[in-house]
Amino acid sequence: TIFDGASLTKPVVTATTALSLVESGVITLSDELRRHVPSLDGYRRGDVRLLELLTHSSGFQPYSFAESWESPNDVLAGLRNRSILEAEPGSRNEYSCLNFVHLAEALRGATDRSLGELAERHVFGPAGMETSRLGPLEDVSNVAATYDHEYRDRILRGAVHDPLGWAMNGQSGNAGLFTTVDDLAAFARAYLAADGTLLSPGTVERLQDDWVPDLDTRHSLGWRLADGTYPAPNWSRVGLGHTGYTGTSLWLDHARDRFAVLLTNQVYDGKDTGLIRFRERFHAMVAAGRFD
């Protein structure tokens, strides 16, 4: 079954692609946005470095979809209006999809390729992710349905649930990935192997570091780091992972050479599914090696 991965797109597609391009010398973490997005020259957000986008320390506000919208153009207009900095870059860390929307734009500018093309070249192909792609999908026969209760008010199958991902045809960088358990397992194995299939051993080792040690949340490059309570108390502190709004989760534990993949479509019926409580128990069981 194929699931809408939602924010798993951030680490799996956008961050991994960015790090691959860093390794090849196309970009650097210290590059400012304006270098790859010339239209931002003269704007304050053009000063933001790619490192700050990857660690959610840019100063961008969280993206809210509180206003009503009826078309992709409405969403994109809201994006333009809300792409402002509320804090100095590097001064705080606050999760915002705007970081990865701007990062994806920088990657397109640096390579003159779409995010989908970059994902195939730097992620899906090398990791052996045979089914994964960025939506929308044409063949939806094996896709788990979601439901947009807030805006489109209809069942979605193969359409990106996230409004930005939908408005930008799966190319937004913050969402848009459709994937399977098998594909994410292949991705996780390639990451844990650290043999150069996806990224160099040195890059994978550095991903286990806290890149914003002076800020509130332990964060790596595109990944959240385990902190002693999250994703479960018994998870190694060098573990890194991410969750997705649709009910997805991917965590890697280099210390135990173990990973956890959880894909659901909890947004289908709009009810409290108890997923957060289940997810913590699931991660605790994986960390403990209990698979029965």
pLDDT of residue 107: 98
- Residue pair 260/187 in contact (Cβ under 8 Å)? The answer is no
Q: What CATH superfamily classification does 3-288 receive? A: DD-peptidase/beta-lactamase superfamily (3.40.710.10)
pTM: 0.94
Report the first-to-last Cα separation within the chain, whole angstroms.
22
DSSP single-letter state for residue 226 = P
Greatest alpha-carbon pair distance for the chain in Å reads 57
Average pLDDT over every residue of 223-246 = 93
In this predicted structure, the answer to whether residue 59 has a pLDDT above a threshold of 60 is: yes
- Packed helices 16-23 and 97-111: angle between N→C axes, nearest 10 degrees: 40
> Which band of pLDDT confidence, cut at 50, 70 and 90, is reported for residue 126?
very high
What residues does 148 pair with on adjacent strands?
A: 154
> Which band of pLDDT confidence, cut at 50, 70 and 90, is reported for residue 63?
confident
Question: How many C-beta neighbours within 10 Å does residue 128 have?
Answer: 14
Distance separating alpha carbons of residues 63 and 58, to the nearest angstrom: 13
- pLDDT winner (highest mean) among 42-46, 201-205, 225-229: 201-205
The ranges assigned to domains in the chain are 3-288
In this predicted structure, the answer to whether residue 67 has a pLDDT above a threshold of 70 is: no
Dihedral (CA of 142, 117, 98, 233) sign: positive
30 contact partners, CB below 8 Å, separation of at least 6: 49, 50, 51
Average pLDDT of the residues of the chain: 92
Distance separating alpha carbons of residues 35 and 40, to the nearest angstrom: 9
pLDDT of residue 68: 59
> Which band of pLDDT confidence, cut at 50, 70 and 90, is reported for residue 271?
low
Among 83-97, 178-192, 234-248, 268-282, which is the least confidently predicted range?
A: 268-282
